[in-house]
Chain A
């Protein structure tokens, strides 16, 4: 059982470059979300999805796009990378049942923008 898989694990981008962070889950979870982790700030929600075809903005959405064409995948796109987007990115998923509230996280993608 792979859980939540993120690729790549590490990435270095130049300012202005674009890239897609991949996230896939094999638990048939409806809910998926993207967070960024910065020192002293905890994890902050970027975008989230409550199901295929449905996405919405979180706390820090600027500079990021998402789409959800399947239940399994939830890619995060950086259209024009900026040094302020240097961070560790985590994808999470959760089942829809009210009592199944555990969110499972991937291993993270460490992104450096130079």
Chain B
């Protein structure tokens, strides 16, 4: 049973456009929500993360929006670049649970030049 649902499965945007990936979670005990970026043949790498005490976090072109009441969070990539082409995973965890992450299904992002 997938506790974190992610959409869309794939996304194609033009260079300079905005990429938006959405996630929804079920477990209200989750208190840390990271996004991971994965390039082919590599392991996932942390991109940006948020805790539920804030509704938005921005790092450069990447922004997480968080809606605690709706149990939803999303990743926005502004001014998308071809180098952003990768698979993106949202995840959720309870910080005291160690490295036990619950992942979404993943979104394959392609940014066309």
Contacts and interface: CB of A to CB of B under 8 A. Distances in A.
Interface of A: 4, 29-33, 35, 40-45, 48-50, 58, 90, 92-94, 96, 98, 101-103, 105-108
Interface of B: 2, 4, 6, 9, 32, 34, 36, 41-46, 49, 89, 93, 95-96, 98-106
A49 to B, nearest CB: 8
A101 B49 contact: yes
Nearest to B49: A101
Indicate the member of B9, B49, B101 with the most A CB atoms within 10 Å. Answer: B101
B44 A94 contact: no
A43 B99 CA distance: 13
B99 A41 contact: no
Contacts of A42: 2, 4, 6, 89, 103-106
A48 B42 contact: no
Indicate the member of B99, B103, B104 with the most A CB atoms within 10 Å. Answer: B99
Given A42-B103, A102-B46, 19 more contacts: A4-B43, A30-B98, A31-B98, A33-B98, A33-B99, A42-B104, A42-B105, A43-B89, A43-B101, A45-B102, A90-B43, A98-B95, A98-B96, A101-B49, A103-B46, A103-B99, A103-B101, A105-B44, A108-B42
